[in-house]
Structure 1
Amino acid sequence: MTTESPSNFHDLETLSTRELLAGINSVDQTVPQVVAGALPQIEALVEATVARLQRGGRLFYIGAGTSGRLGILDASECPPTFGVPAGLVVGLIAGGDTAIRQAVENAEDDPRQAWLDLQAHHITADDMLVGIAASGRTPYVIGGLEQARLRGIATGCIVCNPASAVAAVADFPVEVVTGPEFVTGSTRLKAGTAQKLVLNMLTTATMIRLGRVKGNKMVDMQLSNHKLVDRGEKMIMDELGIPQAEAAALLQQHGSVRAAIEAGQ
């Protein structure tokens, strides 16, 4: 596994802070190029996800450790950003909610648990399941994808090693091969960054395809704080060419940026 290969940097404890930061930054710069090389795979995963969400399905993520946390982060950001229901994108992590904040011993080694976790959410063949695993060999993820496939559920994955066991059980694999980490084996670094970039692309492109963005604006975002209300007013002002007071009144009356814009046109 390339993610477990020895770091190209040596004697890290002897380096200055500036040298450490420069080294980390230098390897991080390789990540976008790796992701660019996987665009055809990401495109296929997005298209498959859009098709299932258009017919009423959901998007599920399963992962362990950093990978699981990244899936939960992406899922949790979809409702406030795009105004979708909280259950449309669901992130599950080996070890349950406790594992979001602290490691749960051996949770990722159980190949049966992911399917049990998915069953609790009543996953069906209308849904899309994406396994996230930097190593590409996490039993929790492999087991979940295998069981889903047996039941006709479409599967995808985001992995950081080539020809992995996880990719082998995914209908729409995304392989972003990031290579050795700055600290040997610490896949919270480059591999985690690559996974986050792919997740950003997956849900952002999917939500745009589903009509959750107008022009380049988050017109369906949840207005959950003063900053977002202010942003919403500015969107309405820009779209309709009206002053702030009028935009604020429209937003208060209609409760969403989209509805305010439609009412003002």
Structure 2
Amino acid sequence: GRLAFLLAAPFIAGQLDFCINNLNVFTPAVVGFNLANMARNEPIPSWHLTFRQVIERMEELQKRKKAFIINPVVGPEAISGSSRLKGGSTTKIILETIFLGAHEAVSAYKRITAEMYEQVHKITYSQSEMIASLVQQAGDSLRKEGHVYYVGWSTLGIMGIIDASECIPTFGADAKDICGFINQGYNEMKNKDGDLTALGPEFCISHMDFVNTILPSVTELDTVIFLFTQDDGLCEIETLANRTKQRTSNLHAISHDLLGSEDLVIFMTCSVPFKLSKWVKVYNNDTGYVVRVMQELSTKWILNAVSTGGHILKGKIFRNYMMDLKVTNSKLFKRAVNILQMITGCLPTVCIRALLQAVYDTEDVTDDMTAAEVTKHTTLAPTRSRVVPTALVILTRNCSLSEAKSLLDAYSLIRDAVEACLTVCEGADNTMHHSN
């Protein structure tokens, strides 16, 4: 049979249900970070089950070891709701631990995986100062309307593409703000659907695409970060680095040293090069798979810090809330309402009305709008910019939609605009208090 792992989210409940109904083929396993009874019980459009009902079936099957619910407690995220950080890393660790354990079950060689990941943490954060420099550089580029480009090799290139793709829904980023590229494009990705470049420029991910379509327009405002190991074809890396250096001095490299080599021309061309060179000393007798797993997680952590820190410096985060998140599904719609309620103290109905003003780009929210399914709101919301910040300004300033947009336009950083609104609001409250 096959072991089916499905990340816990409503839109894949149907796949879970399919696995449950075909236990002769699949052993379903759910990975998540909430208690099972916290699964959402809201209706799923065009389906007869809720996600919680599916999980309840999983719980019954788990008693007979026919299914598995893997939901460790990892604590709150550094950025509220940004599950790509702890949640994403823990998911990767869980899957690697299980598959590594399955692989080793047929061999005599055993390994304590916890020690392996502790080493990844130790080695990665021994470079904290270098990581901080990359975060600062990425933030400088994003604040100045520049871009951040990850140019990676092999699976490290995949780490870059994943990190870049997460910035769009998390921070409301433009698809061009942070982009990832991988050598040989989809041939290296080995994705099921093959070459996807026909879908649009956002799907052009090869180094050739970077050279032909991106590099000619790269400026000093942009940051380029190379991701590689020292067995990834250093001549090719050096050639591409030299070409990139002609366009910007903001070229950086994250290199993982497998061989203990100390000399590499690429480092002399980079602004902030740093090398994680202790992998070979951790497990000298490992196959390349284990070391590669460690390098991937290390790279993920560094890039998560770069993109998250960069967007914080750009003003996309306020009081640890993702102020400019894309409202693309019911979960994010509820999160947007909760953010508005937490910051303003307004009733949920009032917050929803302001949010719908921003979503529908209207001063007057009709009864039909408020009565519509959430899916209608979330279909339109991604086409609008600054939805949550606009709603927040409407609530804090008690102003019209057009006035809220004008106020946001007056500030280069969303966070500054929000702070200004709250300062005015708090000042008005204090004045009223003293007058009473």
For residues 69-100 of structure 1, the C-alpha deviation after alignment (integer angstroms, 9 at most, x for no partner) is 11111111111111111011111111123432
Q: Which amino acid aligns with 2:300?
A: K
Q: CA RMSD in A?
A: 2.6
Q: Secondary structure at the match of 2:179?
A: strand
CA-CA distance at 1:115 after TM superposition = 6.4
Matched, 1:14 2:145: no
Relative contact order (C-alpha < 8 Å, sep 6+): which is higher? 1
What residue is the counterpart of 1:7 in the other structure? Answer: none
How far apart are residue 64 of structure 1 and its match?
A: 1.8
User: Which residue of 2 is the match for residue 185 of structure 1?
Assistant: 288
Match in the other structure for 1:131: 226
- CA distance in 2: counterparts of 1:229 and 1:235, whole angstroms: 10
Deviation at 1:198, TM superposition (A): 0.2
Corresponding residue SS for 1:159: strand
Consecutive aligned runs of 4 or more in structure 1 exceeding 4 Å deviation: none
Q: Indicate the SS of the match to 1:146.
A: helix
- The Cα of 1:116 is off from its aligned counterpart by 6.0
Q: 1:129 to 1:94 in 2, by over 3 A?
A: same
Do the aligned partners of residues 152 and 238 (structure 1) sit closer, same or farther apart at CA in structure 2, a change above 3 Å counting?
A: closer
Equivalenced residues, count: 243
Q: Distance in 1 between matches of 2:175 and 2:212?
A: 17
Q: Give unpaired runs (5+ residues) of structure 1.
A: 1-10, 105-112
Most deviating of 164-173 and 56-65 = 164-173
Give the Cα–Cα distance (whole angstroms) in 1 for the partners of residues 348 and 256 of structure 2: 47
* Percent of aligned pairs sharing the same letter: 21
The two structures have a TM-score, normalised by structure 1, of 0.82
Q: Please, which runs of 5 or more residues in structure 2 have no aligned partner?
A: 1-102, 195-205, 360-386, 397-436
Alignment map for 1:161-200 (pairs within 5 Å): 161=257, 163=262, 165=264, 166-180=266-280, 183-186=286-289, 187-200=291-304
Partner deviation per Cα, 1:96-134 (whole Å, 9 max, x = no partner): 234323599xxxxxxxx8466333124422311100013
Task: Give the secondary-structure state (helix, strand or coil) at the position aligned to 2:315.
Answer: coil
Alignment-derived partner of residue 136 in structure 2 = 47
Give the aligned residue type for 1:155. L
Superposed CA offset, 1:162-196 (max 9, x none): 64634343211232335147642224311111000
Q: Structure 1 residues 216 and 14 mapped into 2: Cα distance closer, same or farther (>3 Å)?
A: same
Tell me: CA distance 1:73–1:116, structure 2 relative to 1, closer, same or farther (3 Å).
Answer: closer
Contact 1:53-1:59 at 8 Å conserved across structures: yes
Report which stretch shifted further, 180-189 or 237-246.
Answer: 180-189
User: Partner amino acid for 1:170?
Assistant: C
Which TM-score applies when normalising by structure 2? 0.51
User: Structure 1 CA distance, aligned partners of 2:388 and 2:229?
Assistant: 38
Q: 2:241: which partner in 1? A: 145
Shift in CA distance, 116/141, structure 1 to aligned 2, threshold 3 Å: farther
Distance (Å, rounded) in 2 between the aligned partners of 1:138 and 1:213:
39
Task: Provide the secondary structure at the position in 2 that maps to 1:261.
Answer: helix
Partner of 1:100: 189
